[in-house]
C-alpha cells in the first residue's frame, strides 16, 4: 500500500490513461468483497496485504 506519495507528471503512451484515486484499506476491502475491482494487479496486491499486513514492517 502506497503512502506519502507526491503528485508528479505522468509520461503515458497516447492510448494510455491512468486515473489515481485515494482509498483507505478498509474501503478497498469493501470494494473487493462487492466485486467492484477489475484490475488483476490491484486484486492481487490487496490479497497479499490482507494476508501479510499484520506482519509488514516487522523482522
Tens-digit pLDDT profile for residues 24-37: 888 988 998 999 99
d(CA 53, CA 23): 16
Tell me the CA distances in angstroms from 6 to 2, 3, 9, 18, 20, one per residue in order.
Answer: 11, 9, 10, 16, 12
Query: Considering only CA atoms, which of 20, 18, 16 is closest in space to residue 7?
Result: 20
Question: What's the mean pLDDT when you consider all of the chain?
Answer: 85
Per the model's pLDDT, the better-predicted residue between 2 and 32 turns out to be 32
Per the model's pLDDT, the better-predicted residue between 9 and 58 turns out to be 9
What is the reported pTM? 0.60
- The percent of the chain in helix, strand and coil, each rounded to the nearest 5, is 40, 0, 60
Using pLDDT thresholds of 50, 70 and 90, give the confidence band for residue 58.
low
Using pLDDT thresholds of 50, 70 and 90, give the confidence band for residue 6.
confident
- The DSSP 8-state label assigned to residue 33 in this structure reads H
Amino acid at each position: 500500500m502506497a503512502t506519502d506519495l507526491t503528485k508528479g507528471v505522468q509520461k503515458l503512451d497516447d492510448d494510455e490513461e491512468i486515473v489515481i484515486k485515494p482509498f483507505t484499506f478498509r474501503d478497498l476491502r469493501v470494494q473487493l468483497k462487492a466485486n467492484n475491482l477489475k484490475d488483476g494487479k490491484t486484486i492481487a496486491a490487496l490479497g497479499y496485504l490482507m494476508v501479510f499486513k499484520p506482519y509488514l514492517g516487522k523482522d
